[in-house]
Amino acid sequence: MKHLMALIFFGTLSSALAASCDAPSTDAQWKSCLASELRASDGRINTEYQKLMGTLSKSQQTTLRSEQRQWLKTRDQACKLDSKESNREKWFQKILLDPYKTVCVVRFTDARIEELKAYNPRQDLIAEDYSASDYEFTSDQGHSKGKYYFEVEVNTPQIARKQEVSLYIGVTSESMQSGWTVNVRKYMTGASKNIVGIAFDLDNGKIYTMQDGIWRDEPGGNTGLDLKLGRKYHALVSSSVSLTALQNQKQVKINLGQEKFNYAIPKGYRAFSR
């Protein structure tokens, strides 16, 4: 069974909120958009689950409840969630502190919604095959010292014609991830491609993000996101849908330096792959 810097956000939002989510300029806008998408996906799965339960016999309902508990366990383990939190709002707020976890939860939730829509009570439907390798790219090469740069090209119009996608782009170490979220909505078929640049400084513990040549925080400044020193970091791209498929269709292109970059590498930095 196959089953988030926020540049573009998707979801069912008011027109005013949707406008701010296209290019959020403040942390408040970013958090508001991210929270809306997480809650929207949670609402959709609850609606689909309750609708399905209403069509099943008592024995089939028991089976579905068991399968849903297994799905929740699988999701929590994969997304590294605290399943002991019973207060729903506190659960939301805890997840929203980590965009990587948010992308993971939305990915699992959207995939599970599709499973519920196609539910066959005669078949087992336990979410076990959410292979991270199909949804995430983690570079084999890693760095613990120095300053590095890479780019991710997102073909927004092509993606928007087919589906809505959430991407988390940044770096990862064994115990943490840091970066930014890029989402695409279906109405963006007339948009241009997006180039996301990631510059990270492992000598001073900072990561900086860029969209289409405009840096959210200039590399070398003190306003970038913090990174813990003394760890090896790998390039990371995580997707709410199959990243393998997006790459095969040339809708997402990860350039670690194997090709010429679209924008100049920040002074003092070098290509990730070198």
What is the reported pLDDT for 4?
30
Q: Tell me the two tokens of residue 44.
A: 């959709």
Same domain, 137 and 229: yes
Q: Tell me the two tokens of residue 18.
A: 């949707």
Domain contains 58:
yes
HEC assignment per residue over 136-187? EEEEEEEECCCEEEEEEEECHHHHHHHCCEEEEEEEECCCCEEEEEEEECHH
What is the reported pLDDT for 16?
35
Domain contains 7:
no
Q: How many domains does the chain have?
A: 2
Between CA 236 and CA 139 the distance in angstroms is 7
Same domain, 39 and 139: no
C-beta separation of 195 from 151 below 8 A: yes
Domain contains 3:
no
Per-residue pLDDT of the chain (274 residues; tens, 9 = 90+): 333 333 322 222 233 334 445 555 555 666 677 788 889 899 999 999 999 999 999 999 998 999 999 899 888 888 888 767 788 888 888 888 888 888 889 888 988 998 899 887 766 554 445 566 788 999 999 999 999 999 999 999 999 999 888 889 999 998 788 888 887 888 889 999 999 999 999 999 999 999 999 998 899 988 888 999 999 999 999 998 889 999 999 999 999 999 999 999 999 999 999 8
Question: Among 57, 92, 117, where does a domain finish?
Answer: 117
Count CA atoms within 13 Å of residue 210 on its CB side. 22
Domain contains 126:
no
Same domain, 174 and 248: yes
Same domain, 205 and 104: no
Q: Tell me the two tokens of residue 116.
A: 């519920």
Comparing CA positions, the residue from 178, 171, 176, 121 lying closest to residue 143 is 171
Question: Among 60, 89, 117, where does a domain finish?
Answer: 117
Q: Tell me the two tokens of residue 6.
A: 């926020």
Domain contains 51:
yes
Backbone angles phi, psi at 88, to 5 degrees: -65, -45
What is the reported pLDDT for 19?
42
Same domain, 52 and 148: no
Domain of 49, CATH number, reads 1.20.1270
Same domain, 138 and 263: yes
| Residues in the chain, overall count | 274
Starting from the edge strand earliest in sequence, which strands make up the sheet with 177-184, in order?
Answer: 136-143, 233-239, 165-172, 177-184
Domain of 215, CATH number, reads 2.60.120.920
Domain contains 98:
yes
Over the Cα atoms of the chain, what is R_g? 19
Domain contains 100:
yes
Question: Among 117, 141, 163, where does a domain finish?
Answer: 117
Range of the domain at 49: 15-117
Dihedral of CA atoms 63, 65, 67, 68 in degrees, nearest 10, equals 160
Between CA 132 and CA 238 the distance in angstroms is 9
Same domain, 101 and 148: no
Same domain, 98 and 176: no
What residues contact 112, with CB distance under 8 A and at least 6 apart?
3, 45, 71, 75, 127
Domain contains 127:
no
State how far the alpha carbon of 200 is from the alpha carbons of 36, 67, 97, 172, 181, in Å: 29, 42, 21, 11, 16
What is the reported pLDDT for 23?
52
C-beta separation of 103 from 79 below 8 A: no
Same domain, 96 and 24: yes
